[in-house]
Structures are given as C-alpha cells and as structure tokens.
Amino acid sequence: MNTFGSFFGTYIECSNLPEPLLSGELKQIQINAKERSVKAEIALDALVKRQTLYDAETQVEKCKQLRLSHVQILPKYSAALFNVKYYPELVTELKRREATMNGILLDSTATLVQDTLTIELKHGGKQLLQSKHAGHVLSQLIQEEFGLNVQVSFTGRLEVDDSSSQYQEMQAHQAETVRRLELINKQEDYETSMEHQTTPHV
C-alpha cells in the first residue's frame, strides 16, 4: 500500500506530522504539469486537523526537488468518523475557499440531527452565506470527505447589526484576510515567474 509517508517522505521531513496522516493510503494523485500542481487524495483512519493538512501541503510545496507551485491534500474518511465535533474543521476549510466567510461564522455552533447539520449564527450574515452558497459548499465538503449526504441549515441571529462592535470587528477581519491573501498570491506569482526565468532550457 502506498501511503502519504512512503510517497512524500522521500522529499519532506515527516517527523512533525501525525501518524494518521503518514499512514494514510494514497488513493489517487492528480498532477498538472503545466500549472505544477498536485492534488492528493488520502484515505485516513482518524480525523486530522485541517491546519495539519495545510502545514503538510506547505512542506511539499517548499520542496525544491519537486518544484511545485500548489499542493492540495484531500482527506477521505469513513462515514462513521463524522460527528459534530468536526464542524470547526469544516469552517476552517470554508474560510480558506472563501475569504469573506471570515467573521460571519465566528462563535457559531452546530448540532447534528440525523442528516441535518444546523448552524447557529451569533453575528448574523445569513444573507451573505446564502449568496456564497455556503450551505451547499459545506454539504458538498461533507460528501467529498465522508461520503454522506448532509443538509445544512442556518439559525440563530440571522441579520447583521452594522452598528455593533462585532460587525465592525468582522468587517476589519475580513478586509485584513483578503489583503493577506492578495499579498500571498502576488508573492507566489512572483516566485513562479522568477523560477521560469532561472530555469535553464534543455
């Protein structure tokens, strides 16, 4: 069986990565040579924190031998592992995909009853969540990772009070997040262009 550790361990330092990730089975790997990107589907026997996956992606991206500009690790879990405690990890991935979600889901909680995940909002923003199809994205994410069909609904404080301190803080947080993402993207584009300029032609 080809595992994450056996495949990528040749290129990166794995001592800081958890055993469930290292022993995870490499189910599929998609390589885009033109974009120098990799998507790796890993079957995991235990839940792994999202930030741990992000850190592993960064390690692979930084490997000069592989010369990759983007790496994405797609976890695959048994349906039996899904529970409401995984909700913060879903939020982390949602915010990564859509920066404007930062702040809206701050302090939110979730309950799982049968096949419905109900998210209780604390600071409003339901309209924005709906405009970004956040419920559908979360349902799709659960389907992709656990193979489950779970519906997502929003409750709690649905409207935003734009005069509240929470709203002002949320807006500032969103603006800062977008600014940081733009800086990261510019830096990655610059590094990619420099690599192309310095790569010798054979």
pLDDT in tens, 11-62: 999 889 999 999 999 999 999 989 999 999 999 999 999 999 999 999 999 9
Highest mean pLDDT among 62-66, 140-144, 198-202: 140-144
- Spell out the residues 6+ positions from residue 79 whose beta carbon is closer than 8 angstroms to its own: 146, 147, 148
CATH 3.40.50.300 fits 83-202, yes or no: no
Domain boundaries, the chain: 1-76, 83-202
Architecture label for domain 1-76: 2-Layer Sandwich (3.30)
Average pLDDT rounded to a whole number, residues 162-182: 59
pLDDT in tens, 102-126: 778 888 999 999 999 999 998 888 8
